């Protein structure tokens, strides 16, 4: 079962447990999806309103992009869990003999690189979604201005959360190329 198909309550409870996934990466992706969704919501609350008719075309463009980013970030919740599992298994590998140590080290290197992939995408997508929200400050309904702000804060948390996950894994990688 995909994590995004679990109820919000279940997701939060499994996140709180010691289970390997979901972890900080999946949490960041979901918080990013919530942020992008708030951008879509502001577009949906603005579209069709006389007062904002001059921005209708912009609003439709922003809505299409925000929807796409929302879907991308939702997908990253499960992609991150999938990419993190090999690392979680590698941590538990034996390292008693020289041969075991060598195999563990090689496996860790590959797993660490894999674990960075989705967090990098979380950072990129959240950054782009924040730029979309900046446009909504001027073109979105004034009644929903606080929602633009909440959206940006969620996306900022997702961006920094993704960055922390890249950093902790990159620091552990020995191959600095």
Binding site for a second copy (CB under 8 A): 3-9, 11-13, 15-18, 23-24, 27-28, 30-31, 33-34, 36-38, 40-41, 44-45, 66-67, 70, 74, 77, 91, 143, 145-147, 149-151, 153-154, 156-157, 160-161, 164-165, 167-168
Q: Is the distance from CB of 149 to CB of 134 less than 8 angstroms? A: no
Min dist. Cβ of residue 149 to a second copy (A): 4
Q: Which is nearer to a second copy, 93 or 99 (CB)?
A: 93
Residue 160 host element (H or E): helix 145-172
Q: Could you count the other beta carbons within 10 Å of the beta carbon of residue 54? A: 10
Min dist CB 100 to a second copy, Å, is: 20
Contact 127, 159 (CB under 8 A): yes
Determine contact, residues 73/3, Cβ cutoff 8 Å.
no
Nearer to a second copy, 125 or 165 (CB): 165
22 cis-preceded (ω within 30 degrees of 0): yes
* 142 or 174: CB nearest a second copy: 142
């Amino acid at each position: 079962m995909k994590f995004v198909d679990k109820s919000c309550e279940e997701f939060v409870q499994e996140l709180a447990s010691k289970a390997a996934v979901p972890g900080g990466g999946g949490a960041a992706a979901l918080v990013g999806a919530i942020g992008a969704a708030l951008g879509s919501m502001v577009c949906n609350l603005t579209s069709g309103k006389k007062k904002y008719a001059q921005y209708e075309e912009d609003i439709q463009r922003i809505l299409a992009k925000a929807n796409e980013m929302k879907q991308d970030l939702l997908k990253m919740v499960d992609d991150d869990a999938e990419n993190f599992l090999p690392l979680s298994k590698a941590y538990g590998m034996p390292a008693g003999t020289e041969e075991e140590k060598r195999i563990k080290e090689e496996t860790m290197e590959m797993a660490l690189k894999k674990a960075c992939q989705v967090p990098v995408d979380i950072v990129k997508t959240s950054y782009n979604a924040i730029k979309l929200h900046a446009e909504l400050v001027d073109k979105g309904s004034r009644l929903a201005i606080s929602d633009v702000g909440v959206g940006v804060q969620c996306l900022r948390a997702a961006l920094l959360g993704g960055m922390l996950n890249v950093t902790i894994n990159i620091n552990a990688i020995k191959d600095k190329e």
